[in-house]
Structure 1
Amino acid sequence: MALDITISDELREEGIARELVNRIQNLRKDSGLDVTDKIKLSIQQHEAINGAVEKHKGYIGAQTLAAEVKLVEKCNESTSVTVELETDLETAIFIEKL
């Protein structure tokens, strides 16, 4: 019996959401935010992650204490951080303390 190793879209989106949470938590820490600080989160749109962000907005917000999670067309380069979620899959994230 062979093991089916294909990843469904749903599973892939969940993985992307978890990876985003991980990157955002690291950015929070690097920014010197307290663990209780609430934030506003902007994530630059990317065809490969838009669905995952929309579907898992609640999870991402709850895990990162983001009162607002939004996809934006473009993050300001000087204030955002580019993160790699997978090989050849990058997006920009901007965190604003509330």
Structure 2
Amino acid sequence: MLTDLYELYRQMLREKIVFCFSGPVSQHVVEGIGATLKLKMEIEEQDINTIQRVFSIFVEQMQNLMNYSAERISQDKDGGDLGIGIFVVGFKD
């Protein structure tokens, strides 16, 4: 398994993937990932326009997962359900 994980890590580096999430999506997850992405881009000194574009696309895609994912899981607290999906952020040169 460690070999597979290392290969995944290497592939993410080759593909310039900076963030990957897989699982149920709640508002708390969106807020946490959003804050992490913003901080990562600020640390990497991305320009403000890039940060705003990435963040805007991120919010839209996560809302799509929350609201329209065909795969769902029951949420215990509120009685509703959560969409499940994969979200990946990468950069091209």
TM range (shorter): 0.3 to 0.5
More helix by share: 2
More strand by share: 1
> Whose radius of gyration is greater, 1 or 2?
2
TM-score by length of 2: 0.34
TM-score (norm 1): 0.32
